[in-house]
Amino acid sequence: KDCGYEYYVSPNKFISGRRCPKCKATVGEKKVIRIMNKLKIPYVKEKSYIGLLYDKAALRFDFFVNNSFLIEYDGIQHFKPIRWNKKMSDEEVNELFVKTQYRDIIKNEFCRDNKMNLYRIAYTELEFIDEIVLDIIEKERSTTIPKGSTLQAYGSGNGESVKYTMI
């Protein structure tokens, strides 16, 4: 399926199966993409930075927005161990969960150390994602958030207020 999105992929990664970052996006990521496109907000999907690694692999942020802040949409696997297939042992499930949480900590610390704001939207906030993203953009425009902050966003459902907790 060709979505029309143009992206760079090295020949080795293409051969190993890496494909379009927009087509493989989660439901939450697709909602963020839809909002950004609707508002004509520039963003980079799957943004990586030199030196931001885990086990020799580049760590990527879901969205680098407007050349100024980052958004991560955190699926259920960021909050509890998930058995992705029947072949996974309990040990593998728990190990994967610990690694996911550790990668999140690395990203949080990277943003803090580099004075970049990181907004984390949990899978539990999917129904409020529109208001959360709009609020994040408004907050960034007003520059009321200290640079280097990592915030967990929570929707209210009333379209009026989004709450943030510093991580």
**pLDDT of residue 107 exceeding 90:** yes
pTM score: 0.78
- Report domain extents, the chain: 24-166
The answer to whether 42 and 67 are in contact (CB under 8 A) is: yes
Alpha helices, DSSP H only, in 16-114?
Answer: 27-39, 90-113
CB 8 within 8 A of CB 44: no
Give the tens place of pLDDT for each residue, 42-77. 999 999 999 999 999 999 999 999 878 999 999 999
DSSP type of residue 40: T
> CATH for 24-166?
3.40.960.10
pLDDT in tens, 118-144: 999 999 999 999 999 999 998 888 766
Residue 101 CA to residue 104 CA, distance in Å, equals: 5
Judged against a pLDDT cut of 90, whether residue 164 lies above it is answered with no
Confidence grade of residue 97 (pLDDT, cut at 50, 70, 90): very high
The residue among 154 and 92 whose pLDDT is bigger is 92
Tokens of 148: 């280097």
Decide if pLDDT at 1 tops 60. no
